Structure 1
Amino acid sequence: MQPTVASPPGLVLAPPPALTARNTSLTYVRGAVGSPICVAVAVFAACVGLGYAGLVGALLSMVAVIVMGVSSTRYAFVRRHLDRQAEVRDRCRRESARLKLLRPTGPVRQQQYIELRELVEEIERSDPNEAKRFDMQDLLDHFVRLATSHQRCLEALRLAGSHDLPHTIALTDGTRSKRRRDIMARRLRHREECLRRVEQLADELEAIDELVRLVAQRVACPALDPDLEREIERRLWELDEVDAALQQLSA
């Protein structure tokens, strides 16, 4: 059962990925045949076969290598290697998508993301179970989505302008038509809404930053061994027993 984690106010953790996706035999076969090692060996075998037996030899050599690659997927260590390679590709693809989304947010937000990513990687190296429990990769995805929304709100504020809209609009101003006053009032309300949303998104971004740093602190601090106190007490008891035995012998 997946444990639930209480999140700080205003912070919504992304749900964990679905557990129904599982690698099938066809997935392993496709990964083995398309791996760089299998492709390199197939090309080398084709060149050797072409030199010895012409085109037929090249085709037979490639088919033999492909058959060997397919049959190797029955072994557990080959499947583990393919799983690791697939995980690395997925992480690279995920990281590339994040950086692409963060490109319009500016260098400050990108640097903040890089620092959080390094902390998450350190957590995954130190305690993989803790990283899975708190869904750290999904938390980084949520950070990127919030940063993108925050930047879009800032762009909306830039379009609204900071000086061309008055803070108060005189409804009885005869120099402006009723339609114009209504439009200016709508723009003003939308600008105030954008300001509130920017503050809320900024607060949630900082909450994610604090949460990642908190988990990193928890992982970095080693937990106390519950048996340590019992071990000390046992040794003290043995010392008392030795002292009592010596006193009885000397009496």
Structure 2
Amino acid sequence: MKRLAAVQDQDLSIVPISPQAETALTYVRGALFNPVSLSVMAFAVCVGVGYAGMLGALVAMATFVAIGSMATRYRFVRRALDKQFEYRVKQKREAERLRQLKPTGAVRQQQYCELRDLVNEIERTDPHEAQRFELQQLLDHFCDLAVSHQRCLDSLRLAGSSDLPRTMPLPDPHRSARRREIMARRLRHRDECVRRIERLADELEAVDELVRRVAQRAAGPMLDGELDREIERRLWELDEVDEALSQLSA
């Protein structure tokens, strides 16, 4: 981000804003321009207008902007703004995915919803694991594969591939060479689409299994060697006590 600044020779030059200033402006913009803040500001302006007219409205607005800007210096406010921003990005991403999957049918959408719920559960229980395997990007890849798979199916349907013979028929004197060439191209296109559909379907199932495997890994507790050592230590202490008692009774 850049801005114009005046220099000594009365000319204008481009001066870049520091990352710290840009981050601060981002937090201020997020704190002031969100539905809750705008509602509070509208209420404050209305109260100011009721008490002192336009002057009261200006004072209320300036006070609100000053308080909102100062509040962004606190860490808990910035954490709340970061969470709000992440939530907005996530909701926008989710809406885009559902829009992409709309032509693919209810079955594929249901499969995506199941994978999305698994990813959300993994992010809740083990966010580092979800970030490590890039599960959100994997869901994007799943949507792209589903769209490509549906397009191939539509291509077969629109081309009338079900009416084509499985193999090229024998030469027919009533058919011209051009017609036979076009039919041969349609057959090649059908076979290519079928192979592509099989590859895409296999890739979709692989993504499904991978997400479920990561979910199993995140849900299952890791084996801790400390448990065995704790039991062994107590057994050793028990043996020591028994041996000491046997020596005293001897």
- What residue is the counterpart of 1:220 in the other structure? 219
Whether the 8 Å CA contact 1:143–1:205 is kept in 2: the answer is: yes
- The equivalent residue for 1:93 is 92
Match of 1:39 in 2: 38
**Which consecutive residues of structure 2, in runs of 5 or more, have no partner in the other structure?**
1-21
Please identify runs of 4+ aligned residues in structure 1 that moved more than 4 A: none
One-letter identity of the residue aligned with 1:237: W
Partner of 1:249: 248
Query: How is 1:132-171 mapped onto 2 (pairs within 5 angstroms)?
Result: 132-170=131-169
Residue 104 of structure 2 contacts residue 147 of structure 2 at CA under 8 Å; is this kept in 1?
yes
Q: Which residue of 1 aligns with 2:61?
A: 62
Q: Distance in 2 between matches of 1:70 and 1:210?
A: 47
What is the Cα deviation at residue 171 of structure 1?
6.4
Unaligned runs of 5+ in 1: 1-22
Given that residues 161 and 190 in structure 2 are in contact (C-alpha distance below 8 angstroms), is that contact kept between their aligned partners in structure 1?
Answer: no
CA drift at 1:169? 2.7
Instruction: Give the superposition deviation at 1:182.
Output: 1.0
CA contact (8 A) 2:45 2:61 kept: yes
Whole-angstrom CA distance in 1 between matches of 2:187 and 2:57: 74
Tell me the amino acid that sits aligned with residue 109 of structure 1. Answer: R
* CA distance in 2: counterparts of 1:190 and 1:168, whole angstroms: 13
TM-score, length-scaled by structure 2: 0.88
For residues 140-219 of structure 1, what are the structure 2 equivalents within 5 Å? 140-170=139-169, 172-219=171-218
For 2:168 and 2:188, the matched residues in 1 are separated by: 11
Shift in Å at residue 168 of structure 1? 2.8
Per-residue deviation, 1:170:
4.2
Deviation for aligned residue 1:64: 1.1
Q: Specify the alignment match of 2:77 in structure 1.
A: 78
Match of 1:26 in 2: 25
Question: For each residue in 1:145-195, what CA deviation from the matched residue of structure 2 results, as whole angstroms up to 9, or x when unmatched?
Answer: 000000000000101223332223346322111111111111110110000
1:121 counterpart letter in structure 2 = N
SS of the residue 1:44 aligns to:
helix
What's the counterpart of residue 7 of structure 2?
none
What's the counterpart of residue 51 of structure 1? 50
Instruction: Judge which range, 59-68 or 94-103, deviates more.
Output: 59-68
Whether the 8 Å CA contact 1:45–1:58 is kept in 2: the answer is: yes
Letter of the aligned partner of 1:65 in structure 2? Answer: F
> Do 1:38 and 1:66's aligned partners in 2 also have CA atoms closer than 8 Å?
no
- For 1:124 and 1:215, the matched residues in 2 are separated by 11
Could you tell me how far apart the structure 1 residues matched to 2:54 and 2:230 are? Answer: 74
Matched residue type, 1:43: A
State the Cα distance separating 1:35 from its structure 2 match. Answer: 2.1
Counterpart of 1:209, as a letter, is D
Identity of aligned residues (%): 66
Deviation at 1:123, TM superposition (A): 1.0
Question: What's the TM-score once normalised by structure 1's chain length?
Answer: 0.88
1:110 and 2:109 equivalent?
yes
SS in 2 for 1:48: helix
